[in-house]
Structure 1
Amino acid sequence: MDATPGVISTLFTNAKVFTGETETTFASAFRVTAGVVDWVGDESAATGDITVDLGGRTVLPGLIDSHTHPALIAGTAPAAECFPPAVTSADDLVAVLRAHADGLTDPDAWVLGRGFDDTKFPGRRMPTAADLDRVSTTRPVLVWRCDAHSAVCNTRALEIAGITAHTPDPDGSRFERDADGEPNGVLTEIAAVGAVAAFIPAPTRDAQIDALVGLGEELASRGIVAVCDLLSTRIDDPVATFRTAVDRGLRTRVALYPGWDPVAPLADLAAGDREGQIRIAGVKVVLDGAYSNRTAWVHEAYPESCDHGLRLVDDADVLAAAEWARRNHVQLAIHAMGDRALDRVVELFADAEPWLDGIPSVRIEHATIVSDDYLARLRAARMSFGIATHTVFFFAEYDGYEKALRAEQVPDAYPIARLYAGLDPLALSSDRPATAWSGADDVMLSVEAAVRRRTYNGIDFGPEAAITVPQALLLYTGRARLLSPLEGVGQLAPGFDGSFAVLDRDVFTVPEDEISAVRVAETWIRGERFS
């Protein structure tokens, strides 16, 4: 097939091209003209002005991370990373934060960190203000837990926030306390964290923009060319900030989902907000907490407990967010992990009329416990539903799930094979940085976990839910594109962006226990090599 006359085209040849259309659709060559794929097939049948020999390597469509948090990363740019496997004790945490504090030149600057997982600490002990007072007693210190729902701060931070034994807990959250009723620095769930974090000076806008540009380069190094930011209001004026980052070199497509704040409801969207490389795609509501710290909202109490987790917003707020989404013709994304939270989503929306065509009107984020019955309810609903879920969660946070899940729930925990067979708008994703692992957005890590169903410490986790490598990769490409309005990505097919990743090994043939070692050698975005 000939290229478009008068337009420069590049023919990419000698490759094993996974097109992202089906589990078995491969090609050996494709052509990109003006940044868009206009032909895919056998290299003997095509021409181009320029030919690039890919050396027989495996090629994937540019990858989609359907649930991640660039704005959160940019808004906490000064924070030190405290993820496992580097940090596995309170002493490790203190050491990392001390080293970070030593590099701060402003004597009033907060010492910030993110990513610790107390379930990997000796005795699974949550650090407290007493631990962080070892970092500093004069500077405020705060470090977010790996789920990004909870945190711990030192005594100085509590003083700055004015939190005392007499301070009431925020709705749906807790200031944890010691035996004498004094706050111990542990901030459980978003509102409690926010009561302290509100006093942290935000990075400058230039620093946030620089962080976004740098993050785009990091994403490209992993083959990721498009993301959904599922809480974009962690920075001010996210549309303008991200678009300025584009002017400075950000090439990633970004779908923004601002968080719903019942106290300060979102303004209706302006012309152009839903269009372009950076677009508002929906609104996010956080209905419950997380399994890893037993705050997901559940029907039956957690093992050896009478605690049912936390519901963070009421029905009126969820419905108000849905009405805003309907009025502005964007998606409603609902964070729901516990089975009770998931049931409430269906109860609220199953019989409602969808308002979007081609993509789900309601996205369910995480969806930890999905039974056959629950999946049948989603399929039978009048509403159109989709799910963004994970394998990196059970891989990295097994210690937390071990103490949060009852044995009979494990077969329904992240049942990827069941979801793959039963729900077309489905994606795997990283939730970075709200995941207890350094490099959680390494797609190959998630693919290996999907295929092997084995945790970081070698424990089988619901092996009957395993899927194949092509199936897992479709959940980052062709199937992921059905979940959100990230146009032009997810396939190497005519009409799609000429964005793709070239691998250093063939992910389809390496041993299963070596999948996570596969690396992206090159990333091309709209026909140009980026990394």
Structure 2
Amino acid sequence: MMRSARYALTLTLAAGSVAGASVCAAAQSTATTADAIYINGKVLTVDAGNRTAEAVAVRDGRIQAVGRKGEIEALAGPGTRVVDLQGKTMIPGFVDAHSHFLSTGAAAAFSVDLSSAPVGNVKSIDEIVARLKRKAESTPKGEWILGNGYDDTLVAEKRHPTRADLDRASTDHPIFIRHVSGHFAVANSKALELAQLTRNTPNPQGGEFRRDAAGELNGVLEETTALAPVAARIPALSREQNLEAIRKATEIYTAKGVTTAQDGAFGNPKLLPMLQDAAAQGQLQVRLVVWPTAPVAKALIDGKAEFHSPDPQLLRIGATKIFSDGSIQGYTGYLSEPYHVHAPGKDDSYRGYPTMPRDQLAALVLEQHKAGRQIAIHGNGDAAIDDILFAFSEAQKAFPRPDARHVIVHSQTARDDQLDKMKALGVIPSFFVLHTYYWGDRHRDVFLGPQRAMRISPLESALKRDVRFTIHTDTPVVPMDPLRLMWSAVNRISSSGKVIGAAERITATQALRAVTIDSAWQSFEENSRGSIEPGKLADFAILSASPLDDPARIKDIQVFETIVGGKTLYSR
């Protein structure tokens, strides 16, 4: 990224960022001193020209000016706080394109960590049992034990734990542990009993209660509809526990430079008042975009649920979230061709399955689209993406809407013809490109095979078609780490050090835009955040080095400070 030869001080407010701003008002701001100025650093503005500046002035929680050091210093008065960046790099705060904010905080605060490498160190089912047993020993009899993040492909046994395994940890406590993908869980006998699930319980649509050779439930619950009966029995978090989840999630996100977070599948309308109160009382400090699931969105549309944000710049409702398939690494992603190595218990023709039939998906999309809602649909397998594009296309035919900005979340195995359709429909693929690091080797060797694995998250193919996209972490599926996310998009290196699809790499500048201004644009927020320009919110991350200087070392850069609305929320 090159700095323009003449990057003059700009005091004119960004177009549309402040309602009613006039040239006169902008001119008057030259006589107004800044609350804070940041000097002696490298400022990556991520504006339309990808320009680099020397300093930034902030006033009233917004960016007042961007330019050269001397020009910005002229805005300082007796009460101005002068921040010496000491050569560090300032970028726009990271804008989260897709994750699960509340679940991340709740998992960190209240669940047993069962992650394997490279996230954790669990190596076997016996270790999972031992961790749950230790938790049970310190938990009153009858209370739930929750676990999070186990991976059947990374434990020595190469299988899911079963109810019998979890019963070894405790039969006095109901136990429920979630798979790293979020699409599976395992329940012990006590939890299955409370949920009234027996061998005679039929499988739900779009899910499965797995069984042993004798036909008994083995405790493995496949996909959301199968998890739901057990999850519904888990006591809801108290108000104070939810506030603790918010505090914990805020710590996790801001420590990584995130200033706008997302709750990407908000399914409980009863929690909306809690979020509103948390925002009004200053307990929610990071900006949050809530994606309601389709039932919650319908309740809001029909007036059966209410939401009144005290500050839409801090908390607001975003796209309606729908699921079209499951997880490729869980063998529930819906592919057009069979899995490379067939799933246990399935034949060679098995290719996963959709969450719902195509016509049902199309009807659900039409309902939300007609109501004027933005829609974000989870789709990993290319057959699922076919269904999603069909649904979006039919909705637009029935009720044309320019700039709807519908999203396909993950878009893991998108084909070139599907990218062409996304371009034609104005659909945004949000790529989970961290798959190249966390699951790349297994996609190549087990799930997809070499040819399809090299094309997962086809970023460069999207760029060639001028398809604007975002990239995301899907936290808590993998840790919140936008710099590692950028590194994955630029390098596409697996956890074993192998390159997964060199042809789909993008540049560091393109990756930076994908986690800032493009993610803001995905949520219709490009006029208020995502770049460092006058009039926008003063949301910044201060880094130890520029992510544009050495693509191989982006993941090693440290976040020194995270600033939201001019206020420091994290300092290293």
Is the structural similarity TM-score above 0.5?
yes
Give the whole-Å Cα distance in 2 for the aligned partners of 1:362 and 1:92. Answer: 42
Give the whole-Å Cα distance in 2 for the aligned partners of 1:423 and 1:335. Answer: 22
Match of 1:113 in 2: 147
Give the whole-Å Cα distance in 2 for the aligned partners of 1:507 and 1:465. Answer: 19
Q: Are 2:373 and 1:330 equivalent residues in the alignment?
A: yes
Match of 2:522 in 1: 483
Give the whole-Å Cα distance in 1 for the aligned partners of 2:51 and 2:178. Answer: 43
Q: Are 2:472 and 1:429 equivalent residues in the alignment?
A: yes
TM-superposed deviation, 1:161: 1.6
Match of 1:60 in 2: 91
TM-superposed deviation, 1:389: 1.3
TM-superposed deviation, 1:310: 2.0
Give the whole-Å Cα distance in 2 for the aligned partners of 1:225 and 1:404. Answer: 35
Q: Secondary structure at the match of 2:284?
A: coil
TM-superposed deviation, 1:380: 2.2
Q: Are 2:569 and 1:530 equivalent residues in the alignment?
A: yes
TM-score (norm 1): 0.92
* Greater mean deviation of Cα atoms: 55-64 or 30-39: 30-39
Residue 6 to residue 17, structure 1, CA distance change in 2 (3 Å): closer
Check the 8 A contact 2:162/2:220 in 1, yes or no.
yes
Report Cα offsets for 1:326-366 as digits up to 9, x if no partner: 354331111111110101112222351576665x4311100
Match of 1:364 in 2: 408
Match of 1:504 in 2: 544
Match of 2:64 in 1: 38
Match of 1:243 in 2: 276
Report Cα offsets for 1:202-246 as digits up to 9, x if no partner: 11122112211321132111110102221112x443432222222
Give the whole-Å Cα distance in 2 for the aligned partners of 1:284 and 1:263. Answer: 9
Match of 1:100 in 2: 135
Q: Secondary structure at the match of 1:449?
A: helix
Which of 18, 24, 34 does residue 44 from structure 2 map onto? 18
Give the whole-Å Cα distance in 2 for the aligned partners of 1:419 and 1:44. Answer: 41
Q: Which has the larger radius of gyration?
A: 2
CA-based RMSD of the aligned residues comes to: 2.4
Q: Which runs of 5+ in 2 are unaligned?
A: 1-8, 12-28, 343-347
Check the 8 A contact 1:283/1:321 in 2, yes or no.
no
Check the 8 A contact 1:445/1:516 in 2, yes or no.
yes
The 5 Å alignment of 1:124-523 reads 124-233=158-267, 235-246=268-279, 247-261=281-295, 267-268=301-302, 272=308, 275-303=312-340, 304=342, 305-350=348-393, 352=396, 360-381=404-425, 384-398=426-440, 400-401=442-443, 402-435=445-478, 440-486=479-525, 488-510=528-550, 512=552, 514-523=553-562
Check the 8 A contact 2:491/2:502 in 1, yes or no.
yes
Give the whole-Å Cα distance in 2 for the aligned partners of 1:485 and 1:209. Answer: 27
Check the 8 A contact 2:365/2:391 in 1, yes or no.
no
- 2:112 is matched by which residue type in structure 1? A
TM-superposed deviation, 1:103: 3.2
Count of aligned pairs: 521
Give the whole-Å Cα distance in 1 for the aligned partners of 2:321 and 2:179. Answer: 21
Q: Which runs of 5+ in 1 are unaligned?
A: none
Report Cα offsets for 1:165-224 as digits up to 9, x if no partner: 111111111111111111111111111111211111111122112211321132111110
TM-score (norm 2): 0.85
TM-superposed deviation, 1:319: 3.6
Runs of 4+ in 1 over 6 A off after TM superposition: none
Check the 8 A contact 2:105/2:248 in 1, yes or no.
no
TM-superposed deviation, 1:316: 4.9
Residue 25 to residue 96, structure 1, CA distance change in 2 (3 Å): farther
- 2:533 is matched by which residue type in structure 1? A
TM-superposed deviation, 1:53: 1.4
Match of 2:18 in 1: none
Give the whole-Å Cα distance in 2 for the aligned partners of 1:215 and 1:522. Answer: 16
Q: Percent identity?
A: 28
Residue 398 to residue 412, structure 1, CA distance change in 2 (3 Å): closer
Report Cα offsets for 1:452-483 as digits up to 9, x if no partner: 21111222211111122221111111222221
Check the 8 A contact 1:88/1:120 in 2, yes or no.
yes
TM-superposed deviation, 1:508: 2.5
Check the 8 A contact 1:117/1:146 in 2, yes or no.
yes
Q: Secondary structure at the match of 2:495?
A: coil
TM-superposed deviation, 1:8: 4.2
Give the whole-Å Cα distance in 1 for the aligned partners of 2:441 and 2:160. Answer: 13
Check the 8 A contact 2:174/2:190 in 1, yes or no.
yes
- 1:341 is matched by which residue type in structure 2? A
Give the whole-Å Cα distance in 2 for the aligned partners of 1:216 and 1:336. Answer: 28
- 1:25 is matched by which residue type in structure 2? R
TM-superposed deviation, 1:70: 1.5
* Greater mean deviation of Cα atoms: 80-89 or 223-232: 80-89
- 1:277 is matched by which residue type in structure 2? L
Check the 8 A contact 1:239/1:280 in 2, yes or no.
no
